[in-house]
Structure formats: C-alpha cells, structure tokens
Amino acid sequence: MVKTVLSYRCVNCNSAHKKWAGRCDSCGEWNSIKEEAPLATGPKGKTLGANKGRKIILGDLSTIDAPLKRSSIGINEFDRVLGGGLVPASAILVSGDPGIGKSTLLLQAAADFARTSKKVIYISGEEASSQIRMRAQRLDLTDASVLLATETNLRDILTTLEEEQPDLAIIDSIQTMWADHVDSSPGSVSQVRATAHELTTFAKRKGIAIMLVGHVTKDGQIAGPRVVEHMVDTVLHFEGERGHQFRILRAVKNRFGASDEIGVFEMTGRGLEQVINPSELFLSERDTKTTGSVVFAGIEGTRPLLVEIQALVAPSPLATPRRTVVGWDNARLSMVLAVLEARCGISFAGKDVYLNIAGGLRISEPAADLAVAAALISSRQDIPIAPDTVVFGEISLSGSLRPIAQAENRLKEAKKLGFLSAFAPSSMKLSSDAKMNLVITHHLEKSEMPISSSYVVKIVMLSTCANALLHCA
C-alpha cells in the first residue's frame, strides 16, 4: 500500500510546512496552517506527488497582442513559404531527400539574412567549416558575415547561442546532435526527441529563431519520431526530382502562415535561384501539338499555378496493364479510370497508362481530376486538346463535377498567361474581369450540343475545336 504524503501550507503567507503547527514560522500567524490535498496520488517517482508548482498567469480572448515582427530572409520565395518572413523565437524544421539542396538553400538564406545586418550562426554536424567555406566560395557568398562552427554537443551549442544571442541559428542536422544526459547514440529516437525539445524550448525562452535540418526516410517521411514535427512551429519540405532543375519548398505545417504554400527554385551552377513566375516556367517547354497534354490550373497554398499534365495510353503486352504515375496519387488515377469506364463507356482494358506531372511538381488537390481525365481521353482517342485551354474540376464517383475553391484566381492566372478558354464545373461565381470562354459542365455524360452519346465525353473534354475533331474521328 502506497503511503500518502501530507503537505501543509500557511493561508496567510503561502509558505509550505512538512507538518502541522499552531504557529507559522514564516509570518508568525497563529492557526493559519492548513492541510492541503496532494497534487497527484500514486507510486512515488511515477506521479507528480504532493509538491505543487507555481500558478500560471491566465489571459482571456479579448487581450490584444502586439503583431508579429517578421524579418525578411532576403529571398522572396522563402519569405512566402514562411508566411511573410521569419518570426523571432520560432523553431523551423527543414526536411528533404539527400542531395536535394537543403544545405545550399539554408546557406544562401543565412547569407542573405546576414546581409540585412542580422546576426546568423551556422552550426554543422555533418561538414567541416572548410567544406562550408568552399560551398560559400562557389556560390559567391563570402561577403556575408555568417558565423560558422562544426559541433554536435548540444550543451556546447546552447551555451554558445546563449552568449552570442544571434537572430537566426541554423542546425545541420538534428540527427547528428547529441545530448550528454541521454544514454543513447546520436540519431536515435530518444536523442532526436531530446535535442529537438531542448532546441525548441531554448528558442522560445531566448527569442532566437532556430532552423533545424532533418533527414527523411525512403518513403519521404522525416527520420526520427513524429513528435518532432509537433514540437516545432513550421515544417518545410524541400522536394524535387533529381533529373529536373526545379526545386519546391513546401510548407507542410506553419503556425504563422498558410500551410501548403510553396516556393519555387531553380538549381543552377550558382546555386538555387528563385522563380518569380513558376507557371510560365513550367509551361515554357510544352509541346502544344502532342496528344495527352493538358494544362491544369491549380492552387498551391495561396498561389495559382499552371502546370502541364501528360498522359500516355498505349496497348499493353502484359496480362495486367501498367499504371505508372509520377507526381500524383496512384489511387486517384485508378478512381478516374474507373469513372471514365463505368460512367462514360471509355475502356482502358488492355492499355498501359502513364501519367506525369511536368517539371517534377507534386499535385495533391482533387481539382486535378478533370485535367487528368482530359489528358487520358486525349491520349486514348489520339485527339489533341487546344493549346489555349486550361482544365480544372473534381470528379465524383457518379461522374458529376464538384465545385472547387478559388476558381476565379485560377482563371485570372490563366488569362494573364494568354489562355483563352477553360473547362470547369458549372457552380462557379466569377467576376467580369475573370471570365473567359468557359465550357461549363455539370456531368461528364451531359452536353448541350446535339450529338450522339458516344461522343459526349469528347465534347466535354475537348475545347473549341471539338466539333471538327469529332466529325473526322
């Protein structure tokens, strides 16, 4: 049986006593010592016990706080992903595949931030200081006053940061850091959890912004415990295909801005250069005469983005046809194929289907369903879609088109880039400056044009040249 430890406290001066007494030794008041209930009950060492802590200060919802004082990194695309700039006392986790350019991006960000008269410390646990200087010379960043160090001991790092008081500290990477009070090797779950907790609480307590670099596993998840993502304020993922020059910095979590915001960079010989107009760059090498090519008007965060969706439908020599997807959800492709076959009568049996998002971009929003369906039909029927047309809309299992968000912003971006027509769901409210030559539809099986039902889907999907194409098909 666990013995309950009693505690006593003076109601006059709030001083604690181990046993009851008639007179308080602190204030001298008589009969002021009262027994108080323990904070928690249970085995010793397993619960909080009888000792109480201090009372925290409570506020209400009507309290008006001062606005966040953001500081510009010096890279507009980086500031966009952060929600408008760097917030003091924030903890940021940057993850990405090995060799994707995380260290290059953060070194450039550190140099640009230091050029704004800010104090920046770059601590690496993977590279020597000479290696970082070589990269800085290659990127022409030697004029920036960035302080470098190579260290993995967390206690030494926190002591240095406390004395130097920088505006920004970059830790590369969290998997190489180790705390001497944790009995495990660096990179283990307990070490990563402990170091991330200490660095995050240190940032909040001292008002220093800290960026942590995190490795990822084979399936793209951040290595280590998932609790690290919950500790930090912002989680940024640096992604891109090795064969493409484009790199995408995506905000997976952001307490100070919009999530799913992206920043587009281009890998060059001088490092990473920001892309001001990614839609124009993604569509710069598009072949307008090829079948299976569709321009999708998407939304990434708060930014409208136009990207090319490529599809190829070819006869399969295999008993089980291939379904290969790059940059989109494989299960979503299977759903679109099932809807086209069940609701529209277009069979893909015995056909290999290849789907690719051009430029190495990854799309996750359901609004790409209609664009994918249009690309598949175009490749299946060998009929090109008009090059001045954009497509967007979500397809339900019944074949109907669901409304999507920010349709007006999508059309404005398409109109700005010279597109003249669009295929979209009918339930859209548009202003006069966003309207285009719209082909609006309710259902994949419905059409207002007087033509046989076997050609209805083509009319919905194809653009202004549909009549001529259908008559010769």
DSSP string, 61-96: TT--PPPP--B--S-HHHHHHHTSSBPTT-EEEEEE
- Say if residue 381 is in the same domain as residue 326: yes
Domain-embedded: residue 57: no
**pLDDT beyond 50 at 470:** no
Please indicate, yes or no, whether residues 157 and 233 belong to a single structural domain of this protein. yes
Residue 460 pLDDT more than 60?
no
Q: How many domains does the chain have?
A: 3
How do strand 120-124 and strand 146-150 relate by DSSP bridges? Answer: parallel
CB 2 within 8 A of CB 31: no
Alpha carbons 37 and 48: distance in angstroms, whole number = 13
Average pLDDT value for residue range 346-351: 89
Report whether 149 contacts 190 (CB < 8 A). no
The model's pTM:
0.78
Cis, peptide link before residue 185, omega less than 30° from 0: no
pLDDT digit string, tens, across residues 223-263: 667 788 899 999 999 987 766 788 889 999 999 988 888 99
Smallest Cα–Cα separation from 102: which of 119, 122, 76, 120?
Answer: 122
B/e letters for 111-133, b = 16+ CB within 10 Å, e = fewer, are: bbbbeeebbbbbbbbeeeeeebe
Identify the residue whose tokens are 């027509």.
Answer: 421
Q: Which amino acid is at 190?
A: S
- For residue 299, give the nearest of 413, 402, 465, 156 by alpha carbon: 413
C-beta of residue 395 within 8 angstroms of C-beta of residue 423: no
Of the residues 223, 242, 276, the one at which a domain ends: 276
Predicted pLDDT at 269: 83
Q: Which of 215, 241, 276 lies at the terminal end of a domain, its last residue?
A: 276
Place of tokens 């998932």: 226
What is the average pLDDT across 419-424?
A: 84
Find where tokens 């044009």 sit. Answer: 449
Confidence tier at 217 by pLDDT (50, 70, 90): confident
Q: Note whether 318 and 457 are same-domain residues.
A: yes
* Boundary residue ending a domain (220, 244, 276): 276
In a domain, 149, yes or no: yes
* Minimum mean pLDDT range among 39-53, 417-431, 432-446: 432-446
What distance in Å separates the CA atoms of residue 208 and residue 198, rounded to the nearest whole number?
Answer: 13
Full residue range of the structural domain in which residue 14 is found: 1-52
pLDDT at 448 > cutoff 50: no
Contact between residue 363 and residue 325 where contact means Cβ atoms under 8 Å apart: no
| CA–CA separation, 269 and 358 (whole Å) | 22
pLDDT digits (tens, 9 = 90+) for 144-198: 999 999 999 999 999 999 999 999 999 998 989 999 988 888 888 889 999 999 9
Tens of pLDDT along 54-105? 778 888 888 787 777 899 999 999 999 999 999 999 999 999 888 888 999 9
Residue 30 is given by DSSP the state B
In a domain? residue 93: yes
Q: Do both 221 and 285 map to the same domain?
A: no
CA–CA separation, 120 and 107 (whole Å) = 10
| Within-domain flag for 160 | yes
Q: What is the CATH number of the domain that holds 388?
A: 3.30.230.10
